[in-house]
Structure 1
């Protein structure tokens, strides 16, 4: 709340972003999907509900992108991403990343692993 009694939206957004940051994995942390485990590398970008990381598949070292969504949010964006990626694969769409894996770290985040664009 500011000095004039108004609620500051800026500080509430900062607090939300720090809450998201607290639940995200750190560099070199392993996250386990349904098919494989992945070592978290660099953060590519971060948004209000999660982040995108470069990850390395543990069994072969291949690079992928993992989109993470913090579990405490009420967004269902990641489920939509999963659905679109799966439908794009079925349609053999060439301009979409390929779905690789998905998983959930209970109490922290859920994630989708896909091929790295570019």
Structure 2
């Protein structure tokens, strides 16, 4: 039912109607999580990542997600996510903000983050 687009509340209503049991919404959420875990247990890391990104992109109109792969080495070099809300924020404010983060730390123990801000006058901070 969930894969067909049914909401947890709709699934709960259907279960209550068919079984005549007082099913809680939390029970439906737990059942859906168990099903997702069982489905993803049979996937490789790459397939699991793709599945999560596809799920994110399909949750709301306007969500986008991409994986960029270096085909010569066969290695993922970047993963990008942009929610519909982020797109609305970028449309409302002409400034561009980029946050770049890598996993773990460098050889000196520092986290890798970089912020780049371009204002509407072309100044970079």
Instruction: Please confirm whether the aligned pair reaches a TM-score higher than 0.5, indicating the same fold.
Output: no
- Normalized against structure 2, the TM-score is what? 0.27
- Normalized against structure 1, the TM-score is what? 0.28
Query: Going by fraction, where is strand more abundant, 1 or 2?
Result: 1
Name which structure has the greater RCO, CA cutoff 8 Å, separation 6+: 1
Q: For the pair shown, which has the larger CA radius of gyration, 1 or 2? A: 2
Query: Going by fraction, where is helix more abundant, 1 or 2?
Result: 2
